[in-house]
Chains A and B, each alone.
Chain A
Amino acid sequence: MTLAERAGPAPAATPAAVIDAEEAARLRAERRERIGRWLLPAAVFVALIGSWQAYVTLAGVPHYVLPGPVLVAETLVRDFGTLAPSWWATLRVSLLALLLAVIGGGGLAILFAQSRWIEMSLFPYAVVLQVTPIIAIAPLIFIYIDSHTARVLFIAWIVAFFPILSNTALGLKSSDHNLRDLMSIYRAGRWQRLRHLELPAALPYFLGGLRIAGGLSLIGAVVAEFAMGSGGKAAGLAFRILEASYRLNVPRMFAALILIVLTGIAIYLAISALSWLLLHRWHESAVRRER
């Protein structure tokens, strides 16, 4: 009775959505942020390129010292016939090294997960491999491995595999302990545990490692090409940069550099897209927060 009185007459029809000033401001801020995320980097890009071109033109800098962005773009288009095969060579090495890193790093992590003893025995050596500056062992690799492709791949692989190994190993151990008990209660075998619990639980960790390894595999491929020389017709972009520098063809150096950067960005975006595809239904990192 008193409750009903206090509540007063029932509101006839609540207006569908009255957005108060605070909410409206928040929505506006959200929209600004969405646009700003793209617009600001784009604006910085345009400003940088513009001032670079302006500086080169106004100060009359010779193109063998610093070519303007327009000349670099022209060179990229003109020399694309020469650069494209090298680009493909570098890309191929990077992706192959990444694939081997996934197989090697992931496989080793799974092996470690099977036995603490194996992990204790081998993990320190994986760390040693990781901390040794790759450029310092490049001459040895040059001596012991005959095939150019194998050398370059090997170097890129060493650089890329560790993040995958360490992340996946951590992920395989991170599964919920109650779920592990459940597996025991249901008498799951070693393989079933791996398949139904440990691998899915490790997936977000693995993908985090993959994102790092993607960038590292490209870096490894470029470093390997610098260290190992041309290798005949399989010359990569790094070799094109060296070659162009000997000929003082600075615009082409820039053009090759741009291709490398674009490749790195493309690998990063591809792996991010893959992560999103695999995780967005369930993992916190990929779930868009609804407030």
Chain B
Amino acid sequence: MTAASSPVPAAFPAAGTVRAGARPTLLLLENVDKVFGRGVVALRDMSLEIRRGDFISLLGPSGCGKSTALRLIAGLIQPSRGRVRWEDPEAAATLGVVFQEPTLMPWATVAANVWLPLRLRGRSRRTVQPLIAETLEMVGLAGFERAYPRELSGGMKMRVSIARALVTRPRLILMDEPFAALDEITRFKLNNDLLAMRAKFDCTVIFVTHSVFESVFLSDRIVIMAARPGRVIRELAVDEPYPRSDSFRTSAGYVAHCRAASEALAAAMEGAAHAG
């Protein structure tokens, strides 16, 4: 019932699918260091195995290298030491990303924004129209195709951003504190919807957050990180079945996992304070 703390990820069936045995590995971080410019150690010796169907949260205080880890995975920066090994090239090629800001093109309509990843691969609007419509429907934005981003609320913009990440039908999605700027009601709604979308698309998610509650609600593994230098302190498994709904938020299991994660996080920060 309480979060099992272990460096080895608990084998757990992916949402919506039950596979026999261990799920295939998508991606491995192997002893990755990242040192910036004048000696800022953003990440030290990070190792992480990401398996098909995982929902992994990177949880930690700001400055602990969460964004850096995502940028390494996305290939935007290269490790100073160690390596990022893709076991599934298809996942690398279709990668979806959601940032903290919706990061939409203000000059383009909702549909054109969602079209972008496909457009960059030379797909014409007409051939992918059904895909765009389906994806927008999925994130709850059917009927907003022609709206411009400035006409939408913060939560809706984030939905467009998620639709854009999903439109390539990626195997892996990276999300960097996507809901941190939203109000709590909207955030809860988006958390629920995100789990539903993931079940539907059967994709793997690496989700950065600094909210213990969010990480417990969403993920099946929580990677707790500490700052200065940025590093992984602990991994917690949240062995609660999907689908999870609002009732999960009030369950005893949820509370126990939140306590375990909070304690681990507090210990991580204390350790960091002693180390620093």
Given A182-B97, A185-B74, A282 and B150 contact (CB-CB distance below 8 Å):
yes
Q: Does B76 contact A (CB under 8 A)?
A: yes
Segment touching B, from A15-23, A64-72, A195-203, A254-262: A195-203
Q: Does B106 contact A (CB under 8 A)?
A: yes
The answer to whether A200 touches B116, judged by C-beta atoms less than 8 angstroms apart, is: no
Q: Does B95 contact A (CB under 8 A)?
A: yes
Q: Which residues of A contact B121 (CB under 8 A)?
A: 186
State the CA gap A197–B117 with chains docked (Å).
12
The answer to whether A186 touches B116, judged by C-beta atoms less than 8 angstroms apart, is: yes
Q: Which residues of A contact B116 (CB under 8 A)?
A: 182, 186, 196
The answer to whether B119 touches A184, judged by C-beta atoms less than 8 angstroms apart, is: no
Q: Which residues of A contact B20 (CB under 8 A)?
A: none
State the CA gap A188–B117 with chains docked (Å).
9
| Interface residues of B, dominant DSSP | loop
| Interface residues of A, dominant DSSP | helix
Nearest A residue to B117, CB-CB: A186
Partner of A181 from B76, B105, B108, B120 at Cβ < 8 Å = B76
Q: Does A190 contact B (CB under 8 A)?
A: no
The answer to whether B103 touches A178, judged by C-beta atoms less than 8 angstroms apart, is: yes
The answer to whether A196 touches B120, judged by C-beta atoms less than 8 angstroms apart, is: yes
Which residues, 177 to 216 on A, are CB-close (under 8 Å) to B? 178-179, 181-188, 192, 196-197, 200-201, 203
The answer to whether A203 touches B150, judged by C-beta atoms less than 8 angstroms apart, is: no
Q: Does A281 contact B (CB under 8 A)?
A: yes
Partner of B97 from A176, A185, A283 at Cβ < 8 Å = A185
The answer to whether A182 touches B107, judged by C-beta atoms less than 8 angstroms apart, is: no
The answer to whether B76 touches A184, judged by C-beta atoms less than 8 angstroms apart, is: yes
Q: Smallest distance from the beta carbon of A163 to chain B beta carbons, Å?
A: 22
Q: Which residues of B contact A181 (CB under 8 A)?
A: 71, 74, 76, 97, 99
Q: Which residues of A contact B106 (CB under 8 A)?
A: 282-283
By CB atoms of chain B within 10 A, which of A196, A203, A284 has the most?
A196
Q: Does A287 contact B (CB under 8 A)?
A: yes
Given A185-B74, A186-B117, A287 and B150 contact (CB-CB distance below 8 Å):
yes
A-side residues, CB < 8 A to B, are 176, 178-179, 181-188, 192, 196-197, 200-201, 203, 281-284, 287
B-side residues, CB < 8 A to A, are 71, 74-76, 95, 97, 99, 101, 103, 105-108, 116-117, 119-121, 148-150
**26 A-B pairs, CB-CB below 8 angstroms?**
A176-B103, A179-B105, A181-B71, A181-B99, A182-B99, A182-B103, A183-B120, A185-B95, A186-B116, A186-B120, A186-B121, A187-B120, A196-B105, A196-B116, A196-B119, A196-B120, A197-B105, A200-B105, A201-B107, A281-B107, A281-B148, A282-B107, A282-B108, A282-B149, A283-B106, A284-B150
